[in-house]
Structure 1
Amino acid sequence: MKGFTTLDRYVIRQLFVALAASTGGLAALIWLTQSLRFVSLVVDRGLSLRVFIELTSMMIPSFVAVVLPITTFIVTLFMYQRLAGDRELTVMRAAGLSPFALARPGLVCASFATALTFLLNLWIVPVSYRDFRQFEFQIRNKMAAFMLQEGVFTRVSDVMTVYVRERDHDGTLRGIVVEDDRVANSRATILAKRGTMLLVNDQPRVVLFEGSRQEIDPKTGRLTMLLFDRNALDLTSNKDSQVRYRDAAEMSLHELLSPNLHEVSNRDRGKLAVEGWRRITSPFTAFSFAMIGLVAVLQGAFSRHGNISRPLLAVVTVVALLALNLLLQNLASRNTALIPLILIEAAVPGLICAAMLFASGIGSSGSDVTRRLGASRDASPASR
């Protein structure tokens, strides 16, 4: 890193290591809690652990984009507070470092987090979330049909369960039992000696041979049996399940800010606009939160015993800004005239903190700090 001093590289290295560890750990924790929702989806359809991990891992970029501004604040506040507690900041000030020089490693970390959040919001997250939704759709409506296991009742959809006694190496299914509930109040049981899986028009179907279809009339209680030599069975639940509707999180920024008027209702345009502006403005929160942490540690008079009130105030401020951001997004989705407030809430705190940190000449000069430390030693009983 050319242009940086040894002290800069020392602090930057600690900041980036802590940022990677905290962001990765928090994202992994969120992934663990959120992925539990898809356990039943994978298990009920007889899919493997690899499919479960592949599906849920596509959500990780969105988790990182959410937690990165928060972990940037936590890391910046913690690392600079530790430097202050170990008197390393005091030595740097005594060496004549300016306020900007002291804050430069934190600014580098904040700039990196801001750029990474932009990259995640504008490109990686929409692509990964679109792939996640598409993969989930395939599992619910297509993939499970091709993962039928021997001797297992597999729910290929919400209204259909399939049992296969045996599966040959060439893919032939033997001893097939199908519980078909697609027609309301008309449950059908289909039995077949053998069958073959096919994909017709991107939809899974099984061709059954030498079987029967049995239904009981719910009104009369009579059993109706239909024998067949060959029958094709669609394994999707209904026609609506064959159509996947896109979510706002998987749309591009252009689609959010300039939606197709024929595809999007007036009620949803505000939500799409807020989602687009959230992607643009949320990276600025990473910079603002980092600046709040820098101000909390670097601004104010030197104290030998430390000062917990400023870091505590910084934490309260960040929590309040997060709550305010959620409130503004909710209000702006109903009234798009409030959208500029989202940008103001994200960027202005960082600018205010930068002005407080650099324009007011925070801290004392090196000679003032040295003189103050000398006076503290003279007044201490241990130095007499």
Structure 2
Amino acid sequence: MGRFDKYMLQQLLMLFGFFSLVLALVFWVNRAVGLLDWLMGDGQSASVFLQLSALSLPTILVNLLPISAFGATVYVTNRLSNESELVVVQAAGYSPYRLARPALVFGLVVAVMTAILSHVLVPLSVRELDLRRDEIAQDVTARLLQEGTFVHPAKGITFYVREITPNGELHDIYLSSSLADGERQSFMASRGLLVKEEEAPMLLMFDGMAQVYELESQRLSVTRFESFAYSLAGLMAEVRVPGQSTRATTTTALLARDLSAENLATANSRMNKALQSLAVTLVGFGALIVGGFSRFGLWRQIFLALLLLVIVKSIDNSLEGAIERDPTLWPVTYLSTLLGVVLGYLLLWKAAHPRLRGTRGAGGELP
């Protein structure tokens, strides 16, 4: 690889990192708002929020890396053209195909990164994220222990505690439950403790009163107690086995499980995400290099590149929707990527044959 190739590749990688960081922050903030609202409602700590946010990053990155690669390619090519660096290397004998070498290497690097994310890191992060969500759903303690607030950890349950001492003792407890058919239960106690058992947490209440109201007969029963144990098993969410879904399974494990149409469609969709990085890079570079040098800039070529990107991504989204409805159509997964590669090659071919254009650029074409 020549010095110019290394220079251009370095510029592409630097801009790619910048665009990826900016886009990741935008997408992360958008997702973090809903995540933070859910976690704060369940009484979770900031560390849990940071863990779940970190686990969502691979899914965000795998979708934005091709867009970042396209943006970096267009920006770097436009800057090199405006500063006449492309004109100099073309005058030195570099053909459009030769100029495309660093862009091709850059596209392959991004494709490898996207492949690692889509085939391995994203499924693992989704699996861990599902596991953490299940743990949070099972964490009754965090949802109950909120001082001075009436909380509803589950449908039909109302809980209140006035004070929680540093040693974990609860003062002035109120618990209302309408889970039992035909009756409503209410418990009030001056003190209590939340004890974690093997099957489900237990709420131990001391010096209190239990009320049972029968809805049909409208009869109220009151019982005073010195100590009472209430199982919180009814608040426990249904336990799901994490890692069994297709999204949470790595590609090798997915294909080892069976070669059904659904699994083949998923595996090829992940591979297509990686190859699209190469396709959009070639489209972006080819669209700008075909314009030659112009003192007025390459705005028309930039618009052309954006238009071609929209076309490729629109076709890809349409095919993805069709494959979701009918997984047996998975062989057409790569049509949009193949279209992008063909368009990139045709643009390079046109740039290599300037005599075939109807008109010359404002700044003239290199012979």
* TM-score with structure 2 setting the length: 0.84
Shift of 1:349: 2.9
Is the 1:145–1:156 Cα contact (8 Å) retained in structure 2?
no
Shift of 1:131: 1.6
Q: Distance in 1 between matches of 2:249 and 2:84?
A: 49
Residue from 112, 115, 119 that aligns with 1:118: 115
Give the equivalent residue in structure 1 for 2:288. Answer: 297
1:1-384 pair list within 5 angstroms: 3-5=1-3, 7-142=4-139, 144-145=141-142, 148-183=145-180, 186-201=183-198, 203-237=200-234, 241-244=238-241, 246-254=244-252, 256-257=254-255, 272-346=263-337, 348-353=338-343, 355-356=345-346, 362=352
Structure 1 pair 147–10 and aligned structure 2 pair: CA distance change class (3 A): farther
Is the 2:262–2:328 Cα contact (8 Å) retained in structure 1?
no
Is the 2:24–2:64 Cα contact (8 Å) retained in structure 1?
yes
Q: Distance in 2 between matches of 1:111 and 1:192?
A: 66
Which sections of structure 2, spanning at least 5 residues, go unmatched? Answer: 355-359
Deviation readout 1:172-210 (Å, 9 max, x if unpaired)? 323222232434664432222333323333643323334
Q: Percent identity?
A: 25
Is the 1:141–1:156 Cα contact (8 Å) retained in structure 2?
no
SS in 2 for 1:156: coil
SS in 1 for 2:330: helix
Is the 2:143–2:151 Cα contact (8 Å) retained in structure 1?
no
Is the 2:185–2:213 Cα contact (8 Å) retained in structure 1?
yes
Structure 1 pair 233–281 and aligned structure 2 pair: CA distance change class (3 A): farther
Q: Distance in 2 between matches of 1:322 and 1:331?
A: 14
Shift of 1:272: 4.9
Q: Distance in 1 between matches of 2:316 and 2:91?
A: 40
Amino acid in the other structure paired with 1:169: P
Amino acid in the other structure paired with 2:250: S
Structure 1 pair 35–80 and aligned structure 2 pair: CA distance change class (3 A): same
Is the 1:145–1:204 Cα contact (8 Å) retained in structure 2?
no
Bigger shift: 128-137 or 305-314? 305-314
SS in 2 for 1:249: coil
Shift of 1:32: 1.1
Shift of 1:244: 5.0
Q: Distance in 2 between matches of 1:66 and 1:147?
A: 37
Deviation readout 1:36-64 (Å, 9 max, x if unpaired)? 22233222222223322322332111001
Q: Distance in 2 between matches of 1:113 and 1:51?
A: 31
Deviation readout 1:266-299 (Å, 9 max, x if unpaired)? xxx7555433321122100011000101110123
Q: Distance in 1 between matches of 2:25 and 2:179?
A: 39
Amino acid in the other structure paired with 2:328: A
Structure 1 pair 201–252 and aligned structure 2 pair: CA distance change class (3 A): farther
Structure 1 pair 317–224 and aligned structure 2 pair: CA distance change class (3 A): farther
Shift of 1:30: 1.2
Is the 1:157–1:236 Cα contact (8 Å) retained in structure 2?
no
Amino acid in the other structure paired with 1:164: V
Amino acid in the other structure paired with 1:156: P
Which sections of structure 1, spanning at least 5 residues, go unmatched? Answer: 262-268, 365-371, 377-384
